[in-house]
Amino acid sequence: MIAMNRILHPTKALALVTIFSFLSGPAQAGLEEGVTAYQAGDLPLAFKEFSTVADTGNADGQFNVALMYEQGIGVAKNETQAISWYEKSAQQGNSNAQYNLGVLYENGRGTAVDFAQANQWYRKAAAQGDGLAVGNLGMLYMRGDGVKVDKNLGLALLILSATMDNSPTNKAKSNIAATKGLTTNMITTAQALSDELGQAKNLLIPLDQYLKTTTTTAGGESQ
């Protein structure tokens, strides 16, 4: 995966292990053939196989086609096409596609920068338990990208992200450490909010309730 930084967040890798047992017929066969070709190093064939599956409406196939377009794997790099295929997969509820779509919209890759779209897709992925999406959503609030600055909420989401996903890809902890101006009160408030979000079956419910009931000061610290 690509390393996370301000300009280019990481996107999720090929769905090579998502050939579910309940799939049958052409969809399963196409995914298996695509995986076999990919692992054998025949990337153009892998792209062809995944494309065939994607054209049937299979969300995993669509995700793989999008990722290959995004990174130029087995096909000429085309982030506009990546956006299109990620959207098809994301609309079917694929959380990896939702996350990747958020990354592309946030960074203006294959499309104009659109923080509202990034927010929307990060929210959808976060609601499905994607720790990286939770962290990226937190950074939108830390910076005020398309939303009002709210460092308490941003910090709470980063804390939760670090708890949900402790992989090296997740830079939530380093983003927390790099944040200037954190006070003891902010950290205490954020930890309590993070706990509340983490205990919810759908973190968007307490998150939206917080947004409705909390007044944000001009400086960005919620009171």
For the stretch 128-141, pLDDT in tens is 999 999 999 999 99
The pTM is what?
0.86
Residue-wise pLDDT tens digits, 55-104: 999 999 999 999 999 999 999 999 999 999 999 999 999 999 999 999 99
* Distance of alpha carbon 102 from alpha carbon 100, whole angstroms: 5
Cβ atoms 203, 134 nearer than 8 A: yes
Question: Number of H helices and number of E strands within the chain?
Answer: 11, 0
179 and 156 within one domain = yes
Q: Could you tell me if 118 and 142 lie in one domain?
A: no
Query: Structure tokens of 210?
Result: 């917080």
pLDDT of residue 126: 98
Do 118 and 133 fall within a single domain? no
Domain hosting residue 95, numbered range = 24-123
Total structural domains within the chain: 2
In a domain, 214, yes or no: yes
Q: What is the dihedral of CA 17, 42, 70, 22, to 10 degrees?
A: -30
- Average of pLDDT values for 142-155? 96
| In a domain? residue 209 | yes
3-state secondary structure of 96: helix
Angle between helices 184-199 and 204-213 (to 10 degrees): 140
Residue 39 pLDDT more than 60?
yes
Strand partners, 222: 216
